[in-house]
Amino acid sequence: MGVPQPHQGWDSLGDSQKQVQTMPIYEYRCERCGRLTSQLVLKPAETTLPACRACGSRQTRRVLSAFAYHRSEASRLAEFDPNRSNHPDFYKDSRNVGLWAKKRAQDMGVDLGPSFDETVEKARTGKILDDV
């Protein structure tokens, strides 16, 4: 696989035929200080690596940028293993509140009904304390 090239296309402003070119932003890790920086690369065909912004070293290498993707509640529930020990930070993500109970109910074939789902949603948003 080669280095991704800038996308060339046409804008979507009516019948305008103005050509647009997007400039890629690449991430580089400095081999000397370990810092990760993003750099706008105007000419990706050039082989010269950019200098580190923190220490000025030219010993940088291009790395794969981090990305995120959305997972549905159903896919998270399908992949959740209630028997596996989770990191203490697991429940700091409010989406994970009630996941254990939902998975256990699903495994046992029990439908806890809409009131359970409402209670879980209140717990996730912190509104459960409003009812106390």
Burial of 19 (0-12, 13-18, 19+ CB in 10 A): exposed
Segments forming the whole domain that contains residue 99: 73-131
* In a shared domain, residues 38 and 85: no
The pTM score is: 0.38
User: Considering 63, 92, 118, which residue would you say is the last residue of a domain?
Assistant: 63
More confident residue, 20 or 129: 129
Predicted confidence (pLDDT) per residue in 29-40, tens digit: 999 999 998 888
Among 36-50, 56-70, 83-97, the minimum mean pLDDT is found in 83-97
Q: Backbone phi, then psi, for 46, in 5-degree steps?
A: -70, 140
Helix (H, G, I), strand (E, B) or coil at 9: strand
* In a shared domain, residues 111 and 90: yes
